[in-house]
Structure 1
Amino acid sequence: MPRIPRPALSGLVHRLSHPSTVAGMALGLMALGLAIGHHVSEQSGMEQLAAVAAERLELYAASLEAELARYDYLPRLIAIDKELMTALDRPGDAALRQRCSQKLARITARAGLGLIFIIDDHQRIVASSEDYASPTRTAETPADAIMRRLSSHILASSAPFFAATEANASSDYIMVQRLQQGERPAGHVVAVLNLAPLEATWVDQGLRSQGEKLLVVDKHDVVIMSSVPGWKYHLMKPIPSADRDALRATGLYAGSLDATLGIATEDLSHQDTSWVRVPAPDAPTNTAQTVELLAQERAVVPLDLRLVTLSDPTEVWRHARFAAWGGGAVGASLGLLMLYLAYRRRVLQQLFRASEALKRAHSELECEVSERTQELRTSNDELKHQIAQRLKAEGELIQAGKLAVLGQMSAGISHEINQPLTALRALSRNSLLLIEKGRSQTVAENLRAIDDMVERMTRITRQLKSFARKTEAAQAPATLGNAIKGARLLLDHRITAEQVTLDIDIPDTLRVTGDGNRLEQVLVNLMGNALDTMQACPQKILRISTRPDGPRVWVCISDTGPGLPPHLMARLFEPFFTTKPAGQGLGLGLVISSKIVHEFGGQLLAYSNAPDGPGMRFEFDLERRD
């Protein structure tokens, strides 16, 4: 390497140290720092944004698959019901159709579905969960609308599919199960799950998190669910008008399918992430305003769907601009270092502290992302546990209400049994003395009195055991008068002790549909509440009457208590809400009674300050069984 002469080296140093040269080098270093800082921050931020979006995409996909998988077994379970299969052969039997519709209504209520109906091989609706109260239909029902629009899809496919709800353009998940009678096709079971609640959750999350949008796209590239309501039933990319007309003709979608998001689906399927430009969610419909978003896709193979997340990189770009200015500041500092050598040590210390702060911020951000991810997983596990606990507790709720009522009546019942026991002891001792004196006639009278008292205690204990027994839900004829007699026997000690006038006006032979033991529980709860409210009233009258209503009958229970103000009436059927003092009620009696009546196919209503006088009136309807 040739040596540079000292005069030439001195001239080079002089030119490099010229103020204009140093200023140019400082500006160059500042521009380099701007570019490097922006690039590094943007790349790091995009990677983190993609990672967080991928985690949420997996969570959305898992929640959607789990939500829909809960109902896959229902059509197959319904298909093996013998009574429903009999209804296919007897479409004109109104009573059989009504029983089948009530059974489907109970399944629908317990499973949380929107609609279940059965069609025969002539596409006639044999039974529907909408017709549980009456088989007579005078207008088009949702089941009729589904058959009108989607009968070809229901008959052609045994796999679940998605379709738009005609009433409100929400999405339905429709499950179909073919029915066979031997080798002959007999019809189909159709179960409809409306996805509007799940979509509303996504919309709420989208409103709270403006940086992420979620799309559910079917195999025809149509958006069927979205956290942005304005994007529903948009096409992902433009398609020929003939294909668009074919999609409209399927009846699976709402709207005209004219709008598109302009997203190239091929890029999404071949890349982990891609940049797309879509219409701005909050922009007016008549404007062409668009936004650039980071798109990621995950295929949900069992459902033949694709989930697409669109992440807003605005925050990443904002941090990148800040980082670019920081990089420019570093470059300028290096230029000033060349100009002001005296401040070299101080500048290096500042740069070191800035670097350490950036590392700490980066480490804290990674820890925060990791903690948030773990919280989401923990919340998901806790939600699954709560669902399992709720299903388990629901079965025990009715039994807990029975035991609570028995606990409240225990003091009075023990008094009812203690009196005959005292009389038995006195009569038995007296009989021993009479036997010694040879007075057999008086002894026989004492034995008959003892037998009557034992029979009285037997009726009380038999009714207690029958009331406390844990029974399964059943739909069988029951005599209303027997249920009222059983409830009166359990509460007779209170009625007598509190001097309550009991006015019962019901036919002796009236029979209704419902389990007698569970019907008795409803009556005990309502009569017990009436007795509690009338304890401080001067006039105590408890009335039980019936009111016919076509094929059903209303059972009315009213009292002369003080009633309830309107602001408490609105909370009357809330779990654990009670107006009784602490320790005298759980607040579950009306909730359990309402649930039992609903399973019988009726509803429990409450009125304060009834038209015929003060107090409360409860009414519930049951099916007559003549």
Structure 2
Amino acid sequence: MTLALSIPSALSARLRRRWLVAAALVLVGMGVVGFWGSVYTHRSFFNEAEARGHNTLRLAIAVLRGHMARYENLPEVIAGFDEIQDLLAAPDNPALIDEVNHYLKEINEQFRSSDIYVMGMDGTTIVASNFDGERPFVGDNFQYRPYFFDAIDGGEGRFFALGTTSFKRGYYFGAPVVVGGETLGVVAVKIDVETIEDTWRGGGDYQIIVNDPEGIIFMTSEPNWLYNSVLPLTRERLARTAETRRYANAELRELPLADVSDENHRLYTIAGNAASTEYLVVSESMPEADWTVSVLLDTSSARAQALTAIVIALLAMAMLILAGAVVIQGRARLRERMQMQRDAKELLERRVIERTAELASVNNKLEEEVAERRATEARLRKTQSDLIQAGKLAALGRMSADLSHEFNQPLAAARNYADNALVLFDRGRIEDARRTVANISGIIDRMTALSRHLRNFARKPNEKLSTVPLGQVVADTVQLIDWRIKASGIDLTIDIPPGLAVMGGPNRLEQVLLNVLANAMDAVEAGEDRRILLSASRKADRVTILVRDHGPGITAGANERIFDPFFSTKGTGKGLGLGLSISYNIIKDFGGELHAGNHPEGGALFTIELNAADIEPIADAAQ
């Protein structure tokens, strides 16, 4: 693998440098193409969108003009009717008023206008088509409306406004009623604009707005923009609007827009509920109505199309460059491969010789390491065995002083029994002397059993695992520390089901239990609660042994190092710190686990997990 990598690295360094330079030039070229292409495609798609906007704008203006043209001559025609002229000549004639009211209502229904009404010279409405409606105009004064005073002055009255009585938007046409060269009043026709708005809605990616000279939107395909201004609402603009009461009590606001136009297109961004939207704006004025009609096209579609076109162009350019690079690289690789074959042959011959020598050297080193590791493993096993034995001897050493009392007490009792037996023999009380001698024999048997347990405990075990009756091992362990249990007033509770057995060595398992129980006794000796529980249970093929005390428990720092060699929380001279470390390794040798922690209700809890076994005769009791 090293050979395969080194030859191309040596031969293609110059080629890689050339490719890096070429790649940099290509990236720069694609960046330039991408930038100028983006400018061109955006301008192209925006121009296309602007053309569509102009078509929509022309259609919208044509609809508005056609709708207005239908009604612009109607007030002048109605002003020429004899009934209207007679009414203005005699405005207090009830019969004539009722007749003209019904007449105007009939004309309004026929032409489908919003309202038709006649005002006197003071601007007060005399008759109206909605005389019988919920909000009739009869009696209302509209002299402040431009369509009224423009018509009174002999001009053409036109005005867009929100009705102060009906609160409906409409466009007003006014015409004077002239009789004998004298103006007697004004006829006004109001047309509804909401029907035109309905045709604008659902137009897709564009919106249509119509605003007055003050910039206030009064017709729009977007209901949320109604009565919003595209120009700042200055005091002068608000004053001019209030003078004619054009929008009655409607709340006027400024449209939240920002002008982001570039040198080619007029662009607005308008804030919405969720985010801002960018629009391409095309506008045209309607001088006859003093309106400005605008079409706002959402630019997201045009920008997406422009981006797609740029991506396609760059991909096509990249494909062409890639195809050319493949051809050039193929030729370069062919020349390089031929040179590589020549160089590889020479290099291979040198490497074979070098690698053969290296492999021979490595093989020798491996053999030396294997031999060294085997020797180290043997020394480690011996050291581990010596540590276990040292731990046991250390435990025996710690027990020796207290065990002397355990031996001295029965020896003193045996001496007393012997003296009593001599006295009984002298007095001829043979049966009493026999019982006294039997007591001496029992004392000797007890001391012999204790000595045997100590001798077996101190003996070095072999490495063979066997079936170990757990109850017997626990009994032997307790017999070794029974003197301490009684001396310290410890309450030891043992819960071992009969017939429970594990895989291990009885002597080494006894050493583990002795170390764990010794730690538990150390923990409870200084407290008032001196209870210790030793229990065991079997689940499937595992046996769990629990040793729980009611001492202060294991601290957080000690819990992490409790099984480390030479770690001890006891004072100086009270142990080597090897007991739990040796116990941990013994349980590992048995294929089990040893854990230490704290019980939820307080005190330390040691858990020993071993492989379960069936009861069999122990072949080597000294194991």
Normalising TM by the smaller chain, what interval?
Answer: 0.3 to 0.5
Pair member with larger Rg: 2
Q: Which has the higher contact order (CA 8 A, sep 6+)?
A: 1
Q: TM-score, normalised by structure 2?
A: 0.46
Q: TM-score, normalised by structure 1?
A: 0.46
